[in-house]
């Protein structure tokens, strides 16, 4: 599988180099989006120095971590997910189903989005600067990195579940944007929300935990929510895998 992935990555790179203008603009758009988030945060904190104990630096840590998780997902999986719905609906999965590979992972890793790497590296650089200022202990730093990895897996699982629904549902295009909207609404301190909303999005669908927990670790405040995030993410990955297997039984080829 490693060898196949290397080939897929090199194909993605070749495509990116072929479409240099698209790639450059994608990278610029990504940077712009992050800057806009930054300015919005600056406006909030121009009226107060602290919100529920969060300073501007903490807020910066939160939105940078949320962007880092989001761009890592985009770099690794978004291009594959963008194509998958169309391939399912147009009945074009045959070529991968005939191959002696795991079709779930083959389609999940079909392409990487190199332009997102630019914004990923930029946010990673800023986050390193923030962490140097916050000075987490090595153990908390490890917790932070683990939380980021779980975050990427969580967003991947949510999107995979939504995209695979194309085996059963046709035309519900707005559903594809739900994970993105959910994560952007979660890129705020959990405490701004009423207790009920906090509980739902920290425990049931832990999107708030995905963004808030890494920021806690960066601040040397470890939390057991990390473990819960991991459990829910593994459960969602399992659901997406079963959904894929069941979906293949519903698949109708165009060939």
Partner 1 sequence: MKYWQTYQNAVTTTFAYRGNLVLHLLTVGLNILMACFMWLAVYRFSGSDNIAGIGANQMIVYLIVVNVLALIFSANPIFTLSSLIRSGNLSVMLLRPINYFRQSFWTYLGQATPYLVVYGLAIGLVSPIFHQGWVYVLGSLLLLGVTYGMYFLLISLISLTSFWLIQVWPLRPVLSALFLLLGGQAFPLQILPHAWQWLTLNPFALAGNQLTLLLLGKLSQSQLWLATGTAVGWLLLAAVLLKIVWRRGIRSFEGVGG
In the complex, which residues of this chain contact partner 1 (CB under 8 A)? 19, 21-22, 25-26, 29-30, 32-33, 36-37, 39-40, 43-44, 47-48, 50-52, 78, 82, 115, 169, 171-175, 177-178, 180-182, 184-185, 188-189, 191-194, 197
Least Å distance between CB 240 and partner 1?
A: 19
Q: Are the C-beta atoms of residues 217 and 136 closer than 8 Å to each other?
A: yes
Least Å distance between CB 132 and partner 1?
A: 27
Closest CB to partner 1 among residues 11, 50: 50
Q: Are the C-beta atoms of residues 115 and 24 closer than 8 Å to each other?
A: yes
State the alpha helices, DSSP H only, in 109-137: 114-134
Least Å distance between CB 33 and partner 1?
A: 5
Closest CB to partner 1 among residues 33, 228: 33
Q: In degrees rounded to 5, what are phi and psi of residue 251?
A: -65, 135
Closest CB to partner 1 among residues 39, 132: 39
Closest CB to partner 1 among residues 29, 251: 29
Closest CB to partner 1 among residues 22, 137: 22
> 218 CB contacts (<8 Å, ≥6 apart)?
61, 65, 130, 131, 134, 136, 140, 144
Rounded Cα–Cα distance for residues 51 and 11 (Å):
46
Closest CB to partner 1 among residues 98, 204: 204
Least Å distance between CB 191 and partner 1?
A: 8
Q: Are the C-beta atoms of residues 131 and 217 closer than 8 Å to each other?
A: no
The CA R_g of the chain, rounded to the nearest whole Å, is: 19
Least Å distance between CB 37 and partner 1?
A: 7
Token duo for residue 148: 């980021």
Angle CA(74)–CA(236)–CA(229) in degrees, nearest 5? 85
Least Å distance between CB 4 and partner 1?
A: 23
């Amino acid at each position: 599988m490693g060898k196949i992935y290397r080939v897929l990555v090199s194909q993605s790179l070749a495509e990116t180099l072929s479409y240099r203008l698209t790639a450059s603009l994608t990278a610029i758009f990504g940077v712009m989006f992050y800057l806009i988030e930054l300015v919005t945060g600056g406006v909030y904190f121009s009226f107060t120095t602290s919100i529920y104990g969060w300073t501007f630096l903490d807020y910066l840590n939160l939105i940078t971590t949320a962007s880092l998780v989001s761009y890592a997902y985009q770099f690794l999986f978004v291009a594959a997910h963008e194509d998958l719905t169309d391939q399912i609906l147009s009945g074009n999965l045959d070529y991968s189903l005939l191959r002696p590979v795991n079709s779930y992972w083959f389609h999940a890793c079909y392409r990487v989005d190199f332009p997102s790497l630019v914004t990923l590296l930029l946010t990673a650089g800023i986050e390193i600067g923030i962490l140097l200022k916050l000075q987490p202990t090595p153990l908390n730093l490890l917790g932070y990195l683990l939380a980021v990895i779980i975050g990427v897996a969580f967003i991947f699982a949510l999107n995979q579940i939504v995209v695979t629904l194309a085996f059963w549902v046709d035309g519900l295009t707005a559903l594809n944007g739900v994970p993105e909207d959910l994560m952007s609404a979660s890129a705020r301190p959990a405490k701004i929300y009423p207790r009920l909303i906090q509980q739902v999005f920290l425990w049931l669908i832990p999107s708030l935990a995905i963004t808030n927990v890494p920021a806690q670790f960066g601040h040397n405040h470890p939390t057991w929510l990390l473990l819960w995030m991991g459990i829910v993410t593994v459960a969602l990955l399992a659901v997406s895998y079963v959904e894929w297997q069941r979906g293949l039984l519903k698949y109708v080829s165009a060939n």
